């Protein structure tokens, strides 16, 4: 499978469609899920193009992976979830329930 430059998150990254932004730095963009499954439900996407978590783990270099997780941690702290609790999910592939083929994490919390 090839990365589709016209997927919905690619369009959000290109500012072609809006999002309800929660956090942004040089590595990631985070915004509210349009169909929330918890009191807080945001998506965290790398700014670089990866199809899914497997593509990210196999092909992102160590420095980028490390920066990505460091940004995830910043979001957790910014949203004051560090001590309250949260869930992180990644869907991989159609059989894993993935609908948008730009790697993303779901960050959910009912706090
Ligand atoms: P996944 O099944 O992991 O691919 O999930 C894709 C998620 O993206 C779903 O939870 C959708 O509700 C969410 N979603 C789709 N389009 C948008 C959008 N334009 N803005 C915010 N979230 C979106």
The closest-lying atom of ligand 1 relative to the alpha carbon of residue 37 is: 10
For residue 66, give Cα distances in angstroms to 5, 12, 15, 69: 24, 23, 25, 5
> Comparing C-alpha atoms, which of 85, 86, 79 is closest to residue 107?
86
| SS3 label, residue 7 | coil
Query: Domain map of the chain by residue range?
Result: 8-109
pTM, 2 dp = 0.98
Whether 55 lines ligand 1, by a CB cut-off of 6 Å, is: no
Residues assigned a catalytic role: 104
Model confidence over 18-69: pLDDT tens digits? 999 999 999 999 999 999 999 999 999 999 999 999 999 999 999 999 999 9
- Domain 8-109 superfamily per CATH: HIT-like (3.30.428.10)
What integer best gives the mean pLDDT of the chain? Answer: 98
> Comparing C-alpha atoms, which of 30, 1, 3 is closest to residue 106?
30
């Amino acid at each position: 499978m090839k990365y589709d430059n016209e997927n919905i998150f690619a369009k959000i990254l290109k500012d072609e469609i809006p999002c309800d932004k929660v956090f942004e730095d040089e590595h990631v963009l985070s915004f509210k899920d349009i169909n929330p499954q918890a009191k807080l439900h945001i998506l965290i996407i790398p700014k670089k193009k990866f199809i899914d978590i497997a593509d990210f783990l196999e092909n992102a270099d160590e420095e980028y992976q490390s920066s990505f997780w460091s940004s995830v941690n910043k979001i957790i702290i910014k949203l004051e979830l560090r001590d309250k609790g949260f869930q992180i999910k990644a869907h991989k592939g159609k059989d894993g329930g993935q609908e948008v083929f730009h790697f993303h994490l779901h960050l959910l919390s009912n706090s």
